Amino acid sequence: MLALSPRPASTATISPTSTNALRVAPVSVAAGFPSPAQDYYDGAIDLTEMLVHDHAATFIVRAAGDSMTEAGISDGDELLVDRSKTPRHGDVVVAVLDGELTVKRLELGPHGVVLRAENAHHPDITVPELSDLQVWGVVTYCIHHLRGRR
Amino acid sequence: MIAHVDVNSAYASFERVFNPALETVPLVVLSNNDGMVVAASREAKALGLDLGKPWFELRPTAARSGVVAVSSNYELYGDMSRRVMEVLERFTHDLDVYSIDEAFLTVDRRTSADPEAMTRLGHDIKDALRRLLGVPVCVGIAQTRTLAKLSNRAAKKIDDLNGVCVWPAIDPGWREKLMRALPVSEVWGIASRLERRLGGHGVLTVWDLATVDPAHIRALFNVVVMRTALELRGIACIGPEEDHTGKKQQIIVSRSFSEKVTTTATMRQALSIYAQQAATRLVKHSQVAHTLTTFAGTSHWAQDKHHPTITVRLPFPTADPVQLTRAAHRLLPQIVEGARYARAGLLLTDLTPAGAQLPFEIFRSPHEDAGIATLIDRVQKKTGKNSLGLGYGGFRPGPSWQMKRTMLTPRATTHWAELTTVRA
């Protein structure tokens, strides 16, 4: 599941930007006719192109714990963190709390900043001042494993 | 104008990005086999933990003052360095990567004419690296490379400058005061031996070297020192690719291409040339390298951005251009035909003095031509590193080049199994 994009992913232009990318071969259309798109094929869809907008500033981290399950983040999921994005109200962010990296939903309210857990069993964390909070980066995508791990 | 950007306590800063708990802790990074201190955070330096000191001597006192020591995480530093350079490329058309943690940027003409614009540029660079990568840097901007480096030193030392020192924007009286206060060894390329000799001729401070008659300096020393003296006067005479300092902890060969490289064949050629240059530098400093990172990148403004990179752990430390070229070429499968690459480069890390491994290299080389090395590599890949080896060393690597990194932090940006964990 690719969740939590702050904005819809841009239209996938088919272009070769990374050889590590997931390759999807062009599927031929109705039998008997040559594909009218064949001449325009210039590489495969590139997953990196869709997920990573700033190569230098994007990091991959791994979630540990179940405080964000309601946001679609399970224990062991990989998160793409784009540090070039300015954190906004409602973003899922990685924040620095007591020297530790924590993933929570950022809520900027009238009574200060709340790092909201997306699981009823976990408490929210209130930060008195925005300046007290160090946001490490904005989580743009979650790689949620649907079929277990190797 | 030239901007010089330098990461503050680079290795320590890179470590801190992924472990904020280390932010305020005195932190030292150890060399191969955890032998010596190769990097120290500001806090560690304040405790007198100097670079180049053997760790076993420092350990007892360090532990008592809460110092944290980590092994060199070359994979992490190499990747973070690549990211730093990628961000810097957004600020210039000509980036000259000087080492793993510093680079010179050519400042465009319009900005160069305006001290205020240069100050803004310096802060923009500094803020971008802090925001995008979490990496603290200082920036020095001046007419010459030597002055840009000196400005950077000033930016690091004088808190009021806020990490950015634009030489032409500073009051001349203040500049003179600074140059009179700094010993001549603070100048780029003036090593301690040279400092002593200069001292014998009354050249003690940066100011002395900047004001002495250049012809006199040339007669007493050589043209290199004269050029340094001229550079301090704002006359540019040291260009890119010039390496006039001594031994290094890492060697980097990287330039922006004058014309975009679009084919694998051209890239192969460029990487070959860089590998030869890197080998030459290694030989010059009597060093061998154990790790090679090869990278290429399209321009930041390119439509299809592509930044392939590969880190190769060399089978044994080497300065052999053939070995290095072959390792560099392992980037080629990642090169996309038709992509417009603006830059490529090689980064050699994990350097050790040459000599110790020499007999082994001679032993190995003749077998390489027979394709045995490739065969061994294939067998080892299939059945494990210790299944088959060549001669003595191939089977059981000796301690000097099998690195011991007992306090290694996760290789968080290059290994899936070692990603940074965030608490959910």
pLDDT in tens, B169-216: 999 999 999 999 999 999 998 888 889 999 989 999 999 999 999 888
**A11 Cβ neighbours under 8 A, 6+ residues apart:** none
> Which among A17, A75, A84 has CB closest to B306?
A17
Candidates A83, A92, A134, A145, partner chain B, best to mutate (most B CBs within 10 A): A83
CB contact under 8 A, B422 and A61: yes
Q: Contact B421/A61, CB-based, under 8 Å?
A: yes
pLDDT for residue B31: 81
Q: Which of chain A's residues have a Cβ under 8 Å away from the Cβ of B131?
A: 83-84
Higher pLDDT, B420 or A4: B420
How much is the average pLDDT of B261-272?
88
Contact (CB, 8 A) for A26 and A35: yes
Minimal CA separation from A94 to chain B, in Å: 7
Tell me what pLDDT residue B361 has: 44
Q: What is the mean pLDDT of residues A81-101?
A: 95
pLDDT category of residue B241 using cuts at 50, 70 and 90: low
Please give the interface size between A and B, counted as residue pairs whose CB atoms are below 8 Å apart: 96
pLDDT(B93) > 60: yes
Calculate how close chain A gets to B13, using CA atoms only, in Å.
15
| Confidence band for B383, pLDDT divided at 50, 70 and 90 | low
The predicted structure's pLDDT at residue B305: 79
Q: How confident is the model at residue B240 (pLDDT cuts 50, 70, 90)?
A: confident
Q: Is residue A68 pLDDT above 80, yes or no?
A: yes
Q: Tell whether the model's pLDDT for residue B226 goes beyond 60.
A: yes
Measured between beta carbons, the chain B residues lying within 8 angstroms of A68 are 424
Taking CA atoms, B307 is separated from B29, B104, B335, B412, in Å, by: 28, 20, 9, 18
CA of A70: which chain B residue's CA is closest? B424
Helices then strands, each counted (H, E), chain A = 1, 7
For residue A6, pLDDT over 50 is answered with no
Residues B29-54, mean pLDDT to the nearest whole number: 85
In the sheet that B37-40 helps form, which strands lie side by side, from edge to edge?
B37-40, B27-30, B68-71
Q: Which residue in the list A18, A35, A85, A104 is annotated as catalytic?
A: A104
The reported pLDDT for the residue numbered A32 is 56
A146 to chain B nearest CA, in Å? 18
The pLDDT assigned to A99 comes to 87
pLDDT, residue B397, reads 37
- Torsion-angle region of residue B162: left (phi > 0), alpha (psi -120 to 50) or beta? left
**pLDDT value of residue B363:** 42
- Find, in chain B, the residue whose alpha carbon is nearest to that of A20: B334
Mean pLDDT of B248-276: 84
Name residues whose C-beta falls within 8 Å of residue B241's C-beta, 6 or more positions apart in sequence.
Answer: B96, B255
User: Averaged over B337-359, what is the pLDDT?
Assistant: 78
Amino acid letter, residue A106: L
Q: Is A15 a catalytic residue?
A: no
Residue A85 designated active-site: no
Within 10 Å of residue B204's Cβ, how many Cβ atoms?
15
Segment B284-312, tens digit of pLDDT: 888 888 889 999 988 877 777 788 888 88
What proportion of chain B, given as a percentage, has pLDDT over 90?
46
pLDDT of residue B389: 46
pLDDT of residue A127: 87
Which residues, including other chains, have CB under 8 Å from residue B392's CB and lie 6 or more apart?
A: B360, B363
Among A67, A74, A84, A85, which one carries the catalytic annotation?
A67
Q: What is the pLDDT of residue A39?
A: 58
- Separation between Cα atoms, residue B409 and residue B15, nearest integer Å: 8
The answer to whether the Cβ–Cβ distance between B305 and A57 falls below 8 Å is: no
Of A15, A19, A102, the CB nearest to B304: A15
Tell me, yes or no, if A150 comes closer than 8 A to chain B by beta carbon: no
Please indicate if any CB of chain B lies within 8 Å of the CB of A48. no
B127: closest chain A residue by CA = A84
B380: nearest Cα among B369, B395, B391: B395
